Structure 1
Amino acid sequence: MDRVCSDNSLVDSSEYMELTIAGMVCRHCVAEVERVLRAQGLTVEEVELGRARVAETELSPDARRRLVEALEASGFRIVTDHAAEVVERVKLAVMHHVREEPDCRLNLSACVERQTGEPYAVASRMFSQSEGRTIEKYHIAQKVERVKELLSYGDRTVSEIAYLTGYSTTAHLSRQFKEVTGMTPSQYADALAAGKASRLPISDI
């Protein structure tokens, strides 16, 4: 039977220990977390956005303190309670939905439930209480930032970007983009080329 440590941040069984880690937003983060874990002498089985699995089934208080400090030095944080874990996993679900899993893009609620293990209504309430905005608003912000990223490459039309980011029409993309940024996609692209526009880090969205 799985056992949850007293702070709920480390889940261990007789076979492995799983950590939920905040602040992971890209493949570079995955590589850095894996580096930190190995540097702490842990046997890494798997690292993905938001979580890591190691072969060790428990850590001494001193080893755990060193791990927490090492992760924090690299900009990461071990999640310490269930509600915070759900919020982090909602964010990961949204990022996957927008950036990596077009097959589930039409059903955000299913992606959230799969990632969090909670009913969508429960995850939505926890997220809103923690973040002060709805999952839907966060989803829109992530989509708009993804559109900005694709526009910055300059190799796709707005129509292609609309398809890649899950908008039903180019008009829908343009309308939502302007509501958030105050500019149309083409105006943003021109401003970016002129050095008058910028993008947000994913972790700041």
Structure 2
Amino acid sequence: MIAEGVSVNVTLLFSLDRYREVMEAYISGLEQRDGDLSNVSSVASFFISRVDSEADKRLDAINSADATALKGKIAVANAQVAYEAFLETFSGPRWDALAARGARPQRPLWASTSTKNPDYPDTLYVDQLIGPNTVNTIPEKTLDDFDDHGTVNRTVDADLAGAHAVLAKFAELGISLADVTRQLEDEGVASFSKSFDDLLETLEEKAKTLK
């Protein structure tokens, strides 16, 4: 679709591997398109809070001090490492050639950024993911909270070494982040598919009443 000039929101992203595939698809699509590329845009919607919700369950099951210390940290670290991949992908000769034709980077969009756990700061997933070329779909309450007491700093890549360290400790506990993100992707796709099917059913019923 990118090659045809259609702007796309690629959603339900949880894993770095899937995100890399999405960025590659975007760049490949641009490379297949002739002429000016400035009228094509895209975002990659990377889901945040759901990662902590599932990761925290697995950390609770371990029930150790090391596991507890990681609660509420996996989602942000995962997103920050994804942003690092974004910076790497949209730089260098391959990207520069497309940018010279007007191409715009596919921006990471942070989705699901309200905190689900009341023990966590209410602006956690906003404060820690601020940076250039990012989008954050902030729920209204979270936006109000951030306006009241949020912190405006470039944070998304301020401590990438720390983000990698958090994910390494998570793996050392024997928890597979790949399993976490795969489960979330499967659940998300199933939920979105059901919503779409429900919408079609509603439209069909409505159409019958108009005949």
TM-score between both structures, scaled by the size of structure 1: 0.27
- Which structure exhibits the higher relative contact order, with contacts defined as CA atoms closer than 8 Å and separated by 6 or more residues? 2
TM-score between both structures, scaled by the size of structure 2: 0.26
